[in-house]
Amino acid sequence: LIHLIQSIAANYENSWANKYPNCGGLQQSPINLDKIERDDNHSVSVRFKDYDVVPDSMKVENKGRTVQVTPTWYTTIPAVVKDGVLYEVQQMHFHWVYNNDEGSEHIFEDRKTVLELHIVHWNPALGDFDGQQGEGILVVGLLYEIGIDDEDYSNFLFNILNYAYNIEEPKSGPVYIKPFGLESLFYYNNSTKFLTYIGSLTTPPCSEGVSWVVLNIPSTVNEYQMDLFQNFELHDGDDHNNRPVQKINGRKLTEVPR
Ligand code: 1SD
Ligand code: ZN
């Protein structure tokens, strides 16, 4: 029985396409960012707007499939402007695994890193966000690798993980944490480029038309923080919440200087 449960957990993403046809589509995420052809003929502009505005509240929940942080701003909502289109921050969440160091979703420079943060944005001109629309969603992806510098202890992950023990169970929370401006996510990150391509949500219904903006250099998480992530339990005893890389099918990536 244990084997059966383990194999169901290990294969949970394989059957998505039966129920959610998009998951078998041609523009899926994540991908191996090394293998996608660079498009040098077109340029893309990416600008972060009001990322320094501190939220009025910040809620953290174990959603069963991930740990999600939902900030609320009463007045100014931070956004990403891509090619003149505004996408406002909705929530952020993480992807990781329990048994090894390959918890990220995207592959870059030949490897998966230990953790990947997604900051999900929505274009409000298209109506209300229901979390499932592909077109109109922009996700900023930030990879984390294990690092040992002291700075780690002052970074935002520490804020989020401070109350981790309250939300270890799947579908638990929320806890409210001390709000921080999202700009601080990038304080110790030396990325020089944004890697942009069109893909999908990495969870069902895998809607396509999602704009991905991935930073080209990982941030760091320390072992202690990563242990706290690995104490969060996922639903159905899942041992990971990261999807394998998907076929590129002729898509191209545009590099944008940061
Ligand atoms: O996995 C998340 C999912 O939880 C939800 O946040 C969705 C947006 O509504 O986005 C996907 S993902 O593609 O950002 N991983
Ligand atoms: Zn995600």
The angle subtended at Cα 183 by Cα 178 and Cα 184, nearest 5°, is: 60
Nearest to 15 by CA among 250, 248, 236: 236
> How close is the Cα of 140 to the center of ligand 2, in Å?
9
Ligand 1 atom with least separation from CA of 202: 13
Ligand 1 atom with least separation from CA of 131: 9
pLDDT in tens, 166-213: 999 999 999 999 999 999 999 889 999 999 999 999 999 999 999 999
Contact 180, 198 (CB under 8 A): no
pLDDT > 80? residue 119: yes
Mean per-residue pLDDT of the chain: 93
The confidence band for 113, taking pLDDT boundaries of 50, 70 and 90, is very high
pLDDT in tens, 122-163: 999 999 999 999 999 999 999 999 987 666 555 788 889 988
Note the ligand closest to the C-alpha atom of 201.
1
Note the ligand closest to the C-alpha atom of 117.
2
Q: Whose CA is nearest to atom 15 of ligand 1?
A: 202
Q: What is the pTM of this model?
A: 0.94
Q: Whose CA is nearest to atom 11 of ligand 1?
A: 201
